[in-house]
Amino acid sequence: MAAKVYIEVIVPLKFNGGTAHYIIPETVTEQIVPGTWVVVTMVHKRYLAVVRHTGCDLPAGLKPEKVLPIEKVAPLKPLPQIHLELWQDIADYYSCSIGEVFKSAYPAAFFRQTEKKREINRPQSIPEQEAEKTLSEHQQQALEQISDHFRHGRKTVLLDGVTSSGKTEIYLKLAREQLAAGHSVLYLVPEIAMSRQLEQRLRKAVGDSLLVFHSKQTTPVRKKIFDKLAAAENNYLVLGTRSALFLPIANPGLIIVDEEHDPSYKQDDPAPRYNGRDVALMMASRMGINTLLGSATPSMESLYNVSAGKYALVQLRTKFFGAAEAPVTVIDMGKVYAMHNARGAFSMQLINMIEARLKAGEQVMVFRSRRSYSSFLQCSSCGDILRCPNCNVSLTYHKYNNSVCCHYCGYRAPFDGACTTCGGEIIARGSGTERLAEQLQDIFPDARIARFDAETAATRTSEKKILGDFAGGATDILVGTQMITKGFDFEKLGLVAVIGADSILSLQDFRADEKALALLEQLRGRVSRREGTGQMVIQTMQASHPVLEALCSGNLAAFRCQLLAQREQFRFPPYVRLIQLTIKNPSPEELHHACRLVARELSAERVSDFTAAITPAVDRIAGQYIRHIWIKLPKTVRAKAQKAAIKQAVAAARAASPATDIIIDVDPL
């Protein structure tokens, strides 16, 4: 009787590091190599797994009679070994299991066979491929500098280019060069809306060589893209969000990370809680290929890496059409309200500026960081604020469907206008995008006004129509959230207004000024992209805030140097590694006990630089009370061992308090 041959497989689960051992049936022994897809049974459930090692010894304590054979080999092309190594890199860095990385890369539905529904192949209109555009003198210089760095072994280049300087054309030039040389290119963007905006432009440039991949596509579409890449019959320009990092791209030559500063690259939940930009750099390092990071507002981490000599820097400071940066007007709303010189959320000064732009045939964009009609509801009699029954947060009011909603847990209920405590009248406080659009319509009854936020642009069709109408001049004023800040180019846009800037200037976060500056600078970049006299207006109660002073003065480089100096002084990233432990329990008493357990276990593992349990601003979500423990790690070779010690401490605390959920978030944003 032949000896049993054991394999270790990666299962899309968290338990036991995400791997398990199985027997290879003799009939398929020759088909099994690392990366082979197999079907296995675990606790009476079937899983699609990936072979990690063949010819393994069983781990100590696992009896041979307990090991099951695999069910079958799946008809999928094996994953390259380098992808499995990248999965392990991600698991190690982000303190999770390789099984969780696998699950994030390929959700179960990705490979689920559907027999009842048949994919309908609709004909796709492919734009005629355009010839390469001629670069401006400044673009050409930047391109040559980037290429020169790559030729001399500088694997990572940061392209610091002001908005509308033409970074995309440089990306396209480099991508075409790679395709012509027989390599594929991965082009990452932070949000799906950006990929939709870029798709037609890139398809005109590279035709059928473009593949677009993101989570809003149907499972059959994503599976079809996976199969094309796995077949490795052609080279492609793959445009996608962070999930595209896990695609089996054969023979890649370049990774482009556009808007590298954007926090949308960070996955908050579930594990792995990774940053797409940083995983792109891990992937490039593993594969020995070049990475181009691009942004008009580079992250502190990237600027630090430039100063440390890890990245090469190329600057593009001239707009393609030669337009100057839009001037910024800051309106002190404290003075405005004191003088009763406003209508709703809009100062009369801003109203007059909007009116002038509309009369000139120009368009206006109004930004508010909060959607909904009002941010909270308060009783006019007893003063009570309507709160979510599951979270320690106020409910927001949505007028379009007359409901109250929690944006943390999703709780929703109809609104009857009466206080649940005393029966008094409820008054809507604060302004979201829905209310601002209503106020603007009242002020400018003849203006065509649209709203662009998570509610109005929930589908690709609605998103395309709203943006298309504004780009085509069918809309005069567009009111939106962060969704309107990313890379949009509207020819007739003459004014960008920020309402309630305090909500982005007053965040309790060491990154608050960096985030606020990046968002406001990106918004300013929407206007004056061509030869025009566009303008940006910011309404705030903090007119002398350092971020606004830096924005108005134009001395952004000095301000960023100041931020870096503060980070170094107080030992914050990028000068240290930061880990956030989030501890949750439905009982406040048990939560307190769990926090003490975690602190004790961290001390036992010789982790020293951590805070006491901190109560966050929103300390109860979906019925769970929350505390945070922050850990600082030095950026040395000891960091990896310290992470392993933290993971061990968390495992011990979980075992001692099973009802407690403890989340490890490395490099939180």
Cα–chain center distance at 366: 23
Q: Where in the chain do CATH 3.30.70.360 domains reside?
A: 576-666
> Does the structure show a pLDDT above 50 at 114?
no
Tell which CATH architecture fits domain 6-81+96-110. 3-Layer(aba) Sandwich (3.40)
Q: How far apart are CA 441 and CA 107, in angstroms?
A: 44
Q: What's the pTM value of the predicted model, to 2 decimals?
A: 0.91
Determine the pLDDT at residue 585.
96
Rounded to whole angstroms, what are the CA distances from 318 to 79, 293, 315, 519?
Answer: 44, 18, 9, 20
Determine the pLDDT at residue 244.
95
Kindly report which listed range (98-107, 138-147, 335-344) carries the lowest average pLDDT score.
98-107
> Does the structure show a pLDDT above 70 at 128?
no
Tell me the H-state helices in 55-97.
81-93
Pairing of strands 363-367, 477-480: parallel
Return the residue matching tokens 């100096």: 565
Pick 187 or 424 by higher pLDDT: 187
Q: Where in the chain do CATH 3.40.50.300 domains reside?
A: 137-316, 328-371+432-565
Q: How far apart are CA 565 and CA 513, in angstroms?
A: 13
End-to-end CA distance of the chain: 57
Determine the pLDDT at residue 433.
94
- Over the chain, what is the mean pLDDT? 90
Closest Cα partner for 211 from 193, 194, 229?
229
> Does the structure show a pLDDT above 60 at 565?
yes
> Does the structure show a pLDDT above 50 at 492?
yes
Which percentage of the chain shows pLDDT scores above 70? 95
Q: Where in the chain do CATH 3.40.1440 domains reside?
A: 6-81+96-110
Pairing of strands 184-188, 237-240: parallel
Determine the pLDDT at residue 125.
53
Query: CATH topology for 576-666?
Result: Alpha-Beta Plaits (3.30.70)
In this structure, what DSSP letter does residue 635 have? S
Determine the pLDDT at residue 115.
35
Kindly report which listed range (25-29, 73-77, 580-584, 654-658) carries the lowest average pLDDT score.
25-29
- Long-range interactions of 657-660: CB distance < 8 A, separation 24+: 657/585, 657/590, 657/593, 657/594, 657/597, 659/585, 659/586, 659/587, 659/590, 660/583, 660/584, 660/585, 660/590, 660/591, 660/594
Q: How far apart are CA 644 and CA 60, in angstroms?
A: 21
List, in order, residues 6 or more apart from 56 with CB less than 8 Å away.
Answer: 6, 7, 8, 21
- Tell me the pLDDT band of 461, cut-offs 50, 70 and 90: confident
Closest Cα partner for 163 from 533, 504, 486?
486
Q: How far apart are CA 481 and CA 478, in angstroms?
A: 10
Query: CATH topology for 328-371+432-565?
Result: Rossmann fold (3.40.50)
Determine the pLDDT at residue 26.
85
Pick 643 or 126 by higher pLDDT: 643
Determine the pLDDT at residue 119.
44
Determine the pLDDT at residue 265.
96
Pick 117 or 174 by higher pLDDT: 174
Q: What kind and span of H or E run contains 300?
A: helix 300-307
Residues facing residue 252 across a β-bridge: 184
Q: How far apart are CA 607 and CA 585, in angstroms?
A: 23
**272-296 average pLDDT score:** 96
**491-515 average pLDDT score:** 92
Rounded to whole angstroms, what are the CA distances from 185 to 86, 172, 240, 480, 561?
Answer: 18, 10, 11, 32, 33
CATH placement of domain 137-316: 3.40.50.300
